[in-house]
Structure 1
Amino acid sequence: MNKVTIVGSLNVDTTLRIKRMPLPGETLAAEGKSSAAGGKGANQAVSAARSGAQTAFIGEVGKDNSGQMMLSEMKANGIDVAGIRENDQVGTGTASILLDENGQNSILIYGGANQQLSPADVEAAQDKITTADFVVAQFETPQAATLRAFQLAKENGVATILNPAPAQKIDPEVLKLTDLIIPNETESAELTGVIITDETSMLISAAKFAQMGVRNLIITVGAKGAFYCTQDGYNFIPAFKVNAVDTTAAGDTFIGALSSQLKPDMSNIEKALVYAQRASSLAVQKMGALPSIPTKEQILAAGQN
C-alpha cells in the first residue's frame, strides 16, 4: 500500500448544467444546479484513498460550514486531516462550474483559504511528508508551500509528483525537486512552448522538461490517452472509449489513482498509467467531482469486462 500525501486545495464546487457555453454578454438559463466537495487537491486525495493508498492531506479551509463539509468529506474517505488548518479570517475556497450537455466544462475558482497555505503550515505537518512514498502538489495553493513540501520530501527520500494546473510560471527550484510532472497537453505547451501534435512533439517536450530538471513526464491528452517518458523509455497509452457526461475531475482522478499504484522508482509506470486511465474513464461517466471518483474494486472490475 502506497502512502500518499497531498499538498493542495479544498473547494466546495457549485455546478450549473447548461445546454451550451454562453457567448460574451449573453444570459442563459441553467437546467440544473448541484453542490459537492471538490478542489484539485481534494479530488486527488480521494482518488488515491479510494484506490487503497494510505492518504494524508496538508491544506487549509475556512472556519465555516463549507470548511466543516470538506473536513467531513475527507474523513469519510479515510483521509488523515490532521494537516488541514482551519482559518478564521478567510473563507473556504469555492469553484463555480459551467457544464454543457456534451460534458465539457468551464471553471471559475475563488481560492479563499487555499491561498493562505504557507511554508510554516507545511512544516507543522512535515511528519505527513517524511513518512510518505509520494508527495503530490498542484497550483491551486501557493508555490511557496509546494516548494517547502518538496524540499522536505527530497531531504527524506520521498518521491514528488507535480500537477502544474492551473498552468503558471513555475519556480525553477520547484521543478528541480520534482520527480514526475503531469501536465495536460495545454499546460505542457504553456510551460515548454511546444504544441502537442504527435509523438515527436511529446518527446521534444520531455527533453524541455528534462532541461528544467524533471526527468519523468506524463502528458495527458484528454480522450486520446496519455504519453509517458522516463529515463527507461516512453510510450503512448490510448484512453478507454466511453461516453463522457462530466469531465470535471477526470485529470485529478487519474493522478490520485496513479499515485496509489506507482512505485517510487517509476519501474511500473505503464501498468500504473493503464490503471489510472481506467479510473479516469469511469469518473467521466458520472456527474460531479468527488461523487464520480471510483474505488479500486470498481476499477479492477471494469478491467475484467
Structure 2
Amino acid sequence: MIAVVGSLNMDLVVTVRRRPRTGETVLGSDVRFVGGGKGANQAIAAARLGGQVHMVGKVGDDPFGSTLIANLAAAGVGTEAVQVEKGVSSGVAFITLDAAGDNQIIVSPGANARLMPADVRAQAGLIGQARVLLLQLETPLPTVVEAARVAREQGVTVVLDPAPAQPLPPELFRLVDFLTPNEHEAAALSRQPITDLRSAKLAAAKLISQGARQVLLKLGGEGVLFACGNRFEHMPAFPVKVVDTTAAGDAFGAAFAVAWLEHGDVYRALSFANAVGALTVTKAGAQSSLPYRKEVEAFLAARGA
C-alpha cells in the first residue's frame, strides 16, 4: 500500500501564446478547472498505475473541496483521512501554459496550510500500514517532517519530492529514502547550478553529503540521474511531443513508488517512471493527463523497453 500526505488543489488553467510582461495584458484560452495539488496528483497517478493508495490531506468546505475528494474516490484512492476544514477555502493553483507547453504556477494553499503535524500523527496507523509514503512540500514543512518521522518509526520507505523548492532541515534529509528533485530544486538545495550532466552529478553528490540516501534527479527531456553513495547512473528520457509539463514530476514519483514496490529494482522502477512522465507531458492538465497502466505498458512495449 502507498500512503500520500500532501496537497489537494483545484487548478485554474489558461493557455497563452506568450506570457505577459510587467503591466501588460494578453488574451488566453477559456479557463479549465482541473483537479490538482502535488499530493492528490501523486495519489491518483499511483492508483491509475495499479497501486493501492490512501490520501492524507485537507480541503475546504467549498465546492472545490467536494470535487477534489470525489476525484480521488473515482480513481480508487482511499479518502477517509482527507479532512474538510470548515470556514476555509480549498487550495487553488493558477496555471499559465505557453505555446511550448511550459508552465508557470501560483498556488494559494488554502486548507493545505492547515494540515498540522498533529493531523499526521493521528494517521500513524494508516501510514504504518503502507510500504511507501509519498511526500511533497505544498503543506507546512513541520507537517512534512512529522509525516517522515511517523513513517521512519514504522519502517515505511519515504519518497520526498522537494517541490516547491525551499530549504530543508537536516533531519528531513536523514529521514528520506529517495529524494526526487527536478534540476531547479536540486540546484536550490545544493547551491550547485545545473547546466549539464556533469553539474547535475555535482548537485546530486552535494545532496548525498547533506544526508539524502538516494537521489533521483529529474532532468526533464534529458531523463533522470540516479545517485547513491559514489554511484551515478543516467537514464535518458523517452522522446515525446510536449503539450503540457504540469504534473509530470508528480506522475514520475508515483510511478517510481508503484514499480519499486512491485519489483524492488531501482532501475526497472526508473524506466517505468520515465515512461509515465513522458506520457504525462503529452496531454494537457494535471490529473487529466495522468496515464493508466495499460497506456504505459503499451508505450513501453512499442519501444522495446
TM-score by length of 2: 0.96
Q: What residue number does 1:276 align with? A: 273
Q: What residue number does 1:261 align with? A: 259
1:38-81 deviation per Cα after TM superposition (whole angstroms, max 9, x unaligned): 01111111111111111011100001111000000000011011
Give, in whole Å, the separation in 2 of the partners of 1:204 and 1:106: 27
Give, in whole Å, the separation in 2 of the partners of 1:227 and 1:250: 16
Q: What residue number does 2:168 align with? A: 170
Q: CA deviation at 1:140?
A: 0.3
Q: What residue number does 2:237 align with? A: 239
Q: What residue number does 1:49 align with? A: 47
Q: Residue 153 of structure 1 is aligned with which of 151, 154, 161?
A: 151
CA contact (8 A) 1:206 1:217 kept: yes
Q: Residue 58 of structure 1 is aligned with which of 45, 50, 56?
A: 56
Give, in whole Å, the separation in 1 of the partners of 2:148 and 2:110: 23
CA contact (8 A) 2:205 2:227 kept: no
Q: Residue 214 of structure 1 is aligned with which of 205, 212, 215?
A: 212
State the identity as a percent: 37
Aligned residue type for 2:79: V
CA contact (8 A) 1:143 1:171 kept: no
Aligned residue type for 1:160: V
Give, in whole Å, the separation in 2 of the partners of 1:147 and 1:238: 32
Query: How do 1:70-85 and structure 2 match up within 5 A?
Result: 70-85=68-83
CA contact (8 A) 1:40 1:140 kept: yes
Secondary structure of 1:12's aligned partner: strand
Q: CA deviation at 1:83?
A: 1.1
C-alpha distance 232-83 of structure 1, shift in aligned 2 (>3 A): farther
Q: Residue 30 of structure 1 is aligned with which of 28, 31, 45?
A: 28
Q: What residue number does 2:107 align with? A: 109
- Bigger mean CA deviation after superposition, 198-207 or 212-221: 198-207
Aligned residue type for 1:128: L
How well do the aligned residues superpose, as a CA RMSD in angstroms?
A: 1.5
Give, in whole Å, the separation in 2 of the partners of 1:286 and 1:176: 36
1:257-299 deviation per Cα after TM superposition (whole angstroms, max 9, x unaligned): 11111149x9511111111111111111111110110011110
CA contact (8 A) 1:192 1:209 kept: yes
Give, in whole Å, the separation in 2 of the partners of 1:36 and 1:199: 34
Structure 2 runs not aligned, ≥5 long? none
Q: CA deviation at 1:164?
A: 0.5
Secondary structure of 1:41's aligned partner: helix
Q: What residue number does 2:14 align with? A: 16
Q: What residue number does 1:294 align with? A: 291
Secondary structure of 2:172's aligned partner: helix
CA contact (8 A) 2:13 2:31 kept: yes
Aligned residue type for 1:67: G
Give, in whole Å, the separation in 2 of the partners of 1:91 and 1:13: 13
Q: CA deviation at 1:197?
A: 2.9
1:130 counterpart = 2:128: yes
Give, in whole Å, the separation in 1 of the partners of 2:3 and 2:258: 11
Secondary structure of 2:277's aligned partner: helix
Aligned residue type for 2:276: A
Structure 1 runs not aligned, ≥5 long? none
CA contact (8 A) 2:223 2:274 kept: yes
Q: CA deviation at 1:231?
A: 4.3
Give, in whole Å, the separation in 1 of the partners of 2:101 and 2:300: 23
TM-score by length of 1: 0.96
Q: CA deviation at 1:88?
A: 0.2
CA contact (8 A) 1:18 1:32 kept: no
Give, in whole Å, the separation in 2 of the partners of 1:267 and 1:120: 32
Q: CA deviation at 1:230?
A: 2.1
CA contact (8 A) 1:263 1:269 kept: no
1:123-164 deviation per Cα after TM superposition (whole angstroms, max 9, x unaligned): 121122101111111110011111111111111111101111
Give, in whole Å, the separation in 2 of the partners of 1:287 and 1:215: 34
CA contact (8 A) 1:253 1:279 kept: yes
CA contact (8 A) 2:201 2:225 kept: no
- Bigger mean CA deviation after superposition, 119-128 or 216-225: 119-128
Secondary structure of 2:33's aligned partner: strand
CA contact (8 A) 1:14 1:33 kept: yes
